Amino acid sequence: MGTWIVNGQILDGENNRVAKSVFIENGRIAKIVDGEVAVKDTEGHELIDAAGQLIAPGLIDMHVHLREPGFEHKETIATGTRSAARGGFTTIACMPNTRPVIDTPETVKYVLDKAESEGIVRVLPYGCITDNQLGRELTDFAALKEAGVFAFTDDGVGVQSAQMMKDAMTKAAALGMPVVAHCEDNTLVVGAAVTEGAFARKHGLKGIPNESEAIHVGRDILLAEATGVHYHVCHVSTEQSVRLIRQAKQLGIKVTAEVCPHHLLLSDEDIPGMDANWKMNPPLRTPKDVKACIEGLEDGTIDIVVTDHAPHSEEEKAKGMEAAPFGIVGFETAFPLLYTKFVLTGQWTLQFLLDRMTVKPAEVFELDWGTLKVGAAADIVLIDLEAEKEVDPSEFLSKGRNTPFTGWKLKGWPTQTMVAGRVVWSEA
């Protein structure tokens, strides 16, 4: 028995193909049909009526924090993957800043086993660049690769030593693996919670300068050029970083980059007060930086959109702007936010948005998913592009409620998510 999804509007980031129905067999896409499907053809198969819905490839998120092992009060692989599925994501890549951190084959195995037994979407673990993310010793890259990591990062902190980063890149390049960097120079960050800018001035706070990110971006681009590694920049937030990446790409250096919805939609001038739901790292920057990030994504300098889904408990976030941990949740708002604010306003096509959340992440990290074509895995999301709904954190499947987008009225809500042809989440 197979599954027919009928009466929808099929679009993927790659083909701009307008079709209506898709047939799934053995977890893969077996047929795509432009017009109506005769009732007799659907007999004996499961039938999903997608009338009024977009049928798109499952979204891919290459930067998420699932918190397990060690911080299960913030999120687990079970709750995080459910939150992802509700947001339309079918493949997510989890950051290694857990406890223990993902720096040994044993921890990689723990995460993969949990994802297999309790997760409902595909989970790709990152491995640490340095032991315990302390920046002192490189991890055993070959052993971590063997255990199943697809790339290396110390996300959460920057690799402070240039020599350490160069050694990491040399080793990763030899294994054909990407180095993915949280760019932050600790000699410039002085325990600040927000960016240098209007909000910091108004509240008499120290600010995180743009250079603390861009200095690492510039340094690492030079090291990537020297080592030939595939270097990927995490959550780009500043004009200077965009400029450096644009120039590096023009020079043919193998660099790719990502940006988060909040850095495309919010600046420090939008922060309403000392509310830690507006605190994340990198912080919300100035309107000039927001503009540069949007332009960077639009001209291909920045390749992909990621959420940096970073759940924290309400108690932790209640500590206030200065003491609370950095991070906001992202899975369950990312697509509706970008669809409503960039596609419905006419700035982007729907295909452009899908491309940056499906085809491009698959391309950048050489993944098998992200497009609807015959023979591909049936990772599919159905999205209602019409119904408008308010962001209500109390409905989130994530344990985290920490979002600055509460109450935003949005369209483009996923209604059903399938991984390998199996429905893993369905609205209601």
Q: Residue 171 has which token pair?
A: 């080793």
What residue 97 binds from ligand DOR, Zn ion, none (CB within 5 to 8 A, per partner kind)?
ligand DOR
DSSP code of residue 415: E
Least distance from Zn ion to the Cβ atom of residue 155, Å: 4
Preceding peptide of 311 cis, ω within 30°: no
8 or 156: CB nearest ligand DOR:
156
Name the token pair of 280.
């994340």
116's tokens: 């297999």
Residues 184-243 that bind Zn ion (CB under 5 A): 234
Q: How far is the CB of 241 from ligand DOR (least distance, A)?
A: 15
Q: Which of 12, 220, 289, 308 is flagged as catalytic?
A: 308
Pick from Zn ion, ligand DOR, none: which does 76 bind, CB < 5 to 8 A by kind?
A: none
Stretch that binds Zn ion, among 153-161, 256-264, 380-388, 393-401 (CB under 5 A): 153-161
Let me know: does 10 contact 373? Beta carbons within 8 Å.
no
By CB under 5 A, tell whether 258 contacts Zn ion. Answer: no
Return the SS3 of 4.
strand
Measured from the CB atom, the residue of 129 and 310 that comes closer to ligand DOR is: 310
> Closest CB to ligand DOR among 283 and 414?
283
Pairing of strands 89-94, 122-125: parallel
β-sheet bridge partners, residue 270: none
Smallest CA-to-CA distance from 234 within 364, 418, 82 is with 364
Kindly state the greatest CA–CA separation across the chain: 70
Under DSSP, the state recorded for 322 is T
Cα–Cα distance between 14 and 130 in angstroms, integer? 37
What is the binding site for ligand DOR (CB under 6 A)? 65, 97, 155-156, 182, 280-281, 310, 325-327
Q: Where are the beta strands (DSSP E) in 69-202?
A: 89-94, 122-125, 179-181, 194-195
**What is the smallest separation between the CB atom of 155 and ligand DOR, expressed in angstroms?**
6
Instruction: Give the DSSP H/E element, type plus range, for residue 296.
Output: helix 287-298
Which distant-in-sequence residues (6+ apart) come within 8 Å of 117 by Cβ? Answer: none
The window from 121-129, 152-160, 202-210, 409-417 that contacts Zn ion (CB under 5 A) reads 152-160
- Minimum CB separation of residue 211 from ligand DOR in Å reads 17
In the region spanning residues 164 to 183, those forming contacts with Zn ion, defined by CB under 5 A, are 182
Q: Dihedral sign, CA of 113, 118, 123, 126?
A: negative
Shortest gap between Cβ of 251 and ligand DOR (angstroms)? 28
- Of 155, 220, 258, 289, the one binding Zn ion (CB under 5 A) is 155
R_g over Cα of the chain: 21
- Whether 7 contacts 20, CB under 8 Å: yes
Nearest approach, Cβ of residue 104 and ligand DOR (Å): 19
Amino acid at 196: E
Q: Which does 263 bind (CB under 5 to 8 A by kind): Zn ion, ligand DOR, none?
A: none
- Closest residue to ligand DOR, judged by C-beta, is 327
Quick one: what does residue 90 bind among Zn ion, ligand DOR, none, with the CB cut-off 5 to 8 Å set by partner type?
none
From the list ligand DOR, Zn ion, none, which binds 20 (C-beta under 5 to 8 Å, kind-based)? none
The span of 10-18, 23-31, 80-88, 151-159 binding Zn ion (CB under 5 A) equals: 151-159
Note if 12 is an active site residue.
Answer: no
Q: What residue ranges bind Zn ion (CB under 5 A)?
A: 155, 182, 234
The residues annotated with a catalytic role in the active site are 308
